[in-house]
Amino acid sequence: MTITRLLASALLALAICGPASADGPTNVVLVHGGTTDGSGWKGVHDILRAKGLAVTVVELPHTSLEDDIAATKLAVSVQGGPTVLVGHSYGGAVITEAGMETNVKALVYVAALQPDKGESLAEISSRFPMGIDMKMVGDKRFVPNPATYHEILGGDLPRDVTDFMAASAKPMRVDTFQIKFQNAAWHAKQSYGIVTTGDRVLTPEFLRWMYQRSGTKITEIEASHMVYMSHPQETADVILQAVSSAN
């Protein structure tokens, strides 16, 4: 992944969502999960913007874990003030590294993975096996199985929405789950986490274990794994709590 392409991804997000002002409100940077894209954040984005916040949506390239972290760090680096960094699912692992940037003041984990320094995603998920039904795309990448996408990932979303998400899923590298994390920003920064009680990908027990280990402030929402799409207001409310703490 070239620096030029990373810049293009970040600048596109900024062009859509609007620039952050050095004298303006706290910034929020939203990071999507594995095999999805940034469009699912639309509802949360609109609620936060209506509150006067500057919002940037990162588009992860999924070419490698390193590139996903670099794209997020780049988006964070161009913010003009204190920033709340938000990640869904795999995006939680990404913000765990990218959250080390000095202007990140709080982290929000939305039904998200939260590894510690020295852990890989394969290692942490072996404690509570993930429920995703994978379909291989070649021998190095995977997408969720379209046949079970609705039931497993987004049972509280309209089926036509999950059918489209399955059809447009972005392939993700299998070896991403083997890489050990170098940092865990939640050790030094306040974190907030959403436990999705109807989650069939990351079970509530798995989410609670991660969040309790890290001292994350927990909010439970009766929702599927795609809570930020099915419950945008409740998701935004948790992000706003983090914003208040960062001011």
pLDDT per position as a tens digit, 160-179: 999 999 999 999 999 999 99
List of long-range contacts for 176-179, beta carbons under 8 Å, 24+ apart:
176/34, 176/64, 176/65, 176/90, 176/121, 177/120, 177/121, 177/122, 177/125, 178/120, 178/121, 178/122, 179/65, 179/66, 179/120, 179/121
Query: Which residues share a beta bridge with 143?
Result: 135
Question: How confident is residue 245, by pLDDT bands cut at 50, 70 and 90?
Answer: confident
Instruction: Judge whether residue 247 has pLDDT over 90.
Output: no
pTM recorded for the entire structure: 0.90
pLDDT band at residue 230, thresholds of 50, 70 and 90? very high
Q: Determine the residue type at 131.
A: G
Residue 183 has pLDDT above 60, yes or no: yes
Using left for φ > 0, alpha for ψ between -120 and 50, and beta otherwise, residue 82 falls in beta
* pLDDT surpasses 80 at 97: yes
C-beta of residue 152 within 8 angstroms of C-beta of residue 144:
yes
| Beta-strand relationship, 104-110 and 134-137 | unpaired
Q: Are strands 27-31 and 217-221 parallel, antiparallel or unpaired?
A: unpaired
Q: How long, in residues, is the chain?
A: 247
Confidence (pLDDT) at 33 = 98
Angle between helix axes 65-77 and 3-17 (nearest 10 degrees) is 50
Largest Cα–Cα distance in the chain?
Answer: 49
Q: Angle at CA 169, nearest 5°, toward 143 and 42?
A: 140
Q: CB neighbours of 175 closer than 8 A, spacing ≥ 6?
A: 140
Phi first, then psi, for residue 194 (nearest 5°) are -105, 125
Quick one: pLDDT at residue 7? Answer: 41
Domains and CATH numbers, the chain: 3-15+26-117+182-246 (3.40.50.1820)
Q: Are 83 and 74 in contact (CB under 8 A)?
A: no
Residue 12 has pLDDT above 70, yes or no: no
CA-based nearest residue to 74, from 177, 5, 173, 171: 5
Question: What separation in angstroms does the CA of 32 have from each of 87, 215, 228?
Answer: 6, 23, 10
First to last CA, the chain: 35
Tell whether the model's pLDDT for residue 20 goes beyond 60: no
Q: Which two tokens stand for residue 47?
A: 């609620």
The conformational region for residue 138 under phi > 0 = left, psi -120 to 50 = alpha, else beta, is: left
